[in-house]
Amino acid sequence: MLWAAGGVARGQCSGNSEPPEVRQLFEQKDWAGVVRVASASRVRSPDAQFDYGMALAHLERLAEAQSALLAGAKECPGQKRFPIELGGVAFEQKKYAEAAHWLRRGLRIDPSDAYANNFLGTVYFLSGNLDAALQYWNRVQKPEIAGLDFDPHLQVHRLLLDRAFAFSPAAVLREPQLITTEARLDALGIFPGYNLHLDARPDGRFDAVFRAQEQDGFGPSTAAALVSMLGGAPYETVYPSYANIRRGAMNFDSLVRWDAQKRRAWGELSAPLQGRPEWRWRVGADLRNENWALRRSFTGTAPVLGSFNLEREAVKGTLTSLRRGAAQWTLGAELSHRIFRDAIPGSALTASLLTPGWELKPLASVRAGLLRLPQYRFTVTGGGSADFARRLSGPSHLSGTLEGWTTARWLPGMEGGRWDLREEVRSGKIFGSPPFDDLYVLGMDRDDTDLWMRGHLATRDGRKGSAPVGDAYVLSNTDVLRRVYGNGLLSIQAGPLLDVGKMAAPTAGLSSGEWLVDTGLEARLTVLHTSVVLSWGRDLRSGTNAFFGTVAEPGLGNRE
C-alpha cells in the first residue's frame, strides 16, 4: 500500500480539536482502535477525519475511508493531505483516472511535494503514459536509467540506433530527451510501429526497452510489400519503396501514376547525414504531365473557364535538423521547369500564370511543440514555411510563399485510443507573380494536395481543375475518429468530419472567394501499416456529395 500514513503536514482548519486518544492510537498504528474511538464521535475535526479516514484505508474499508477524507477536504480545501490520500484510496480501488485527479489537485496546492509527484508519476507509468509519468517523476529526479535493451532482431546498424536515443544509462531520463528520441526514431522512417517502455528493477532504477517492427527492404513480408505498393492500383498508381538500404536507415519512396489525364512519377531518397540521426537529408525528383480543365464544380452544369496541358519537372533537396525533437527546422531548394501546351485562357487564366521556363526556389520551414499536456493526452503543434522563387528564363518574375499551421490532438481517457480528436488550422499566401503550378488547390486530389475539403473533388472526367485554385487560403479540418475494430492486423477508425475553407484567387474564374463548409464521414482502415482513407463529404453550400478513397503513404504530403 502507498499510504503516506499521516506524514503530510497537519493543521486544524475548523471545528473541535482532535481527541488525544485518537492521535495516540494513530501513532501506535492501532487502526481498529482509531476507528472505534473516532466513529463514536458525532462531530470530528479535520485532523480527526484524516486519522479516521487513514485508519479505515489501512483496514481496507475503502469506501468509508473515501467518505471521511472527502469530509475533511471539504472543511480544509487548502490542505494537500486530503486530496493526496484520496488519490491513494482511488489507486487501491484500481481507479487510476480518479487517483490522478486527486493527486493533481494535491500538487496544485504544493507542486514540490515529493511523495505526490512520485506517486502520480507511478500512476501514469502503470497506465502506459510514459510522457506524463516523466513530467512528475522528473521533479524528484526519477527515473534513473540503468541500461538500454534493443530488439536483437533489428537490422539497422546498432551505432545508428544508439545515436537516435537522446538519453543514456546511469542518468535520469528527462521528458525533452524522450520527445527528441521519439522524433529521431520517427524520422528514420524504418519503424512503422515501435514501443519504448521502462522495466522496473529491484534497486529502483529502470531499464529502457525498445521493441519495434522494422521496415527492411521491400517490407517485413511479401503480403505487406504488396499491400503497400499496390494499394493505389484501383486508381492507376503504385508506390514502390525500399527501406533501410545498407542497414543505414536510407529509404527510397516513389509513386508512379499512369492515368492518361494526370501522369506522374515521383521519387525520393532520404538518409541520416553522415550516420547522425539528428540530421536527415532528402533529395527527390517529380515529373508530371497533367491536363487541366478549370470549372466551378465537379458535377452538374459547369462550363470550362480555361484549360491547358502542364508538363513539369522538378528536383528538390532538403536538410532537416532533429537536434531537439520539440523544435525542428528544414532548409532546402527546388529547381523546376514547366511547359504549358494547348492553352485556352478563357476567363480564368492570365499570361503570367502560363509563363513557361525555369524557376529556382529556396525553401525553409519550422515545426515546434506549442502546448503539451501529457497528463490529459492533449498536444498542440505548429509551424510555418516560406519560400522565395525567381524565374530563370523569360521575363524576370519573383514570387514568395508564407504558410502557417497549428494542429491540436486529444485522446480522451486515461489510456487506450478509442477516441482520437484532431483539429488543424492552416493558412497560406503567395506574393508576386507565381506560375500556375505553384498555386494552391483546395479539394480532394490523390497525392497532389493535402488541403482537403472533403466535399469537393479536384478532378472531373479525370482532369484537374474542378476545385478552388488560388493564391491565398484559410482551411480548418476537424476529425472525430472512434476505433470501431482492431485485431492487431487490421484497425478501423470512423467518425464525422467538418471542413471549413476559403480560397482567394488572382482571377474570378479560379475561385469564387466564398466560404465553403463541408461535413460528412470518414473511415480509416489500416492493414499491415498501410492506411486506406475512405470519405463521404457534403458541400453545404451547393448540396453536392463527394465520395473519395485513397492510400495514405508516408512522405507524399497526404495528412497521414
Digit-coded pLDDT (tens) for 327-362: 999 999 999 999 999 999 998 999 989 999 999 999
Whether residue 559 has pLDDT greater than 60: no
Mean pLDDT of 112-134: 96
Q: Which long-range contacts (CB under 8 A, 24 or more apart) does 31-34 make?
A: 31/55, 31/56, 31/58, 31/59, 32/59
What percent of the chain stands above pLDDT 70? 95
Domain residue limits at 106: 20-127
Q: Residue 137 falls within a domain, yes or no? A: no
Do residue 356 and residue 422 come from a single domain? Answer: yes
Digit-coded pLDDT (tens) for 221-241: 788 788 888 888 888 999 999
d(CA 134, CA 129): 9
pLDDT reported for residue 276: 96
556: its cell numbers:
507524399
Do residue 115 and residue 151 come from a single domain? Answer: no
Q: Residue 1 falls within a domain, yes or no? A: no
What CATH number is attached to the domain comprising 158? 3.10.20.310
Do residue 305 and residue 404 come from a single domain? Answer: yes
pLDDT reported for residue 13: 67
Q: Give the H or E element holding residue 503.
A: strand 490-504
The confidence band for 317, taking pLDDT boundaries of 50, 70 and 90, is very high
Digit-coded pLDDT (tens) for 34-85: 888 888 877 788 888 999 999 999 999 999 999 999 999 999 999 999 999 9
Q: Structural domain tally of the chain?
A: 3
Question: Contact, 83 vs 106, CB < 8 A?
Answer: yes
Do residue 308 and residue 255 come from a single domain? Answer: yes
Q: Residue 14 falls within a domain, yes or no? A: no
End position of a domain, from candidates 162, 180, 213: 213
Buried-exposed string 66-96: b where 16+ CB fall within 10 A, e elsewhere: bbbbebbbebbeebbbbbbbbbbbbbbeebb
Question: Contact, 546 vs 454, CB < 8 A?
Answer: yes
Whether residue 311 has pLDDT greater than 70: yes
Do residue 527 and residue 405 come from a single domain? Answer: yes
Whether residue 150 has pLDDT greater than 50: yes
Comparison of pLDDT for 219 and 257, the residue scoring more: 257
d(CA 449, CA 459): 12
Q: Residue 132 falls within a domain, yes or no? A: no
Query: What are the backbone dihedrals phi and psi of residue 509, each rounded to the nearest 5 degrees, phi first?
Result: -70, -20
Q: Residue 61 falls within a domain, yes or no? A: yes
Do residue 236 and residue 153 come from a single domain? Answer: no
Buried-exposed string 527-556: b where 16+ CB fall within 10 A, e elsewhere: bbbbbbbebbbbbeeeebebebebbbbbbb
What CATH number is attached to the domain comprising 462? 2.40.160.50
Question: Contact, 298 vs 323, CB < 8 A?
Answer: no
User: Of the given ranges (165-174, 250-259, 265-274, 414-423), which has the lowest mean pLDDT?
Assistant: 414-423
d(CA 480, CA 451): 18
pLDDT reported for residue 554: 41
Do residue 541 and residue 400 come from a single domain? Answer: yes
Do residue 249 and residue 156 come from a single domain? Answer: no
Whether residue 2 has pLDDT greater than 60: no
End position of a domain, from candidates 127, 152, 171: 127
- How many C-beta atoms lie closer than 10 Å to residue 161's C-beta? 22
Amino acid letter, residue 140: V
Q: Residue 449 falls within a domain, yes or no? A: yes
509: its cell numbers:
474564374
Buried-exposed string 383-394: b where 16+ CB fall within 10 A, e elsewhere: bbbebebebeee
Do residue 326 and residue 423 come from a single domain? Answer: yes
Do residue 179 and residue 226 come from a single domain? Answer: no
Q: Residue 434 falls within a domain, yes or no? A: yes
Buried-exposed string 231-264: b where 16+ CB fall within 10 A, e elsewhere: bbeeebbbbebbbbeeebbbbebbbbbeeebbbb
Amino acid letter, residue 379: T
Do residue 149 and residue 123 come from a single domain? Answer: no
The confidence band for 525, taking pLDDT boundaries of 50, 70 and 90, is very high
d(CA 290, CA 441): 14
Do residue 113 and residue 148 come from a single domain? Answer: no
pLDDT reported for residue 487: 86
Confidence (pTM): 0.89
Q: Residue 3 falls within a domain, yes or no? A: no
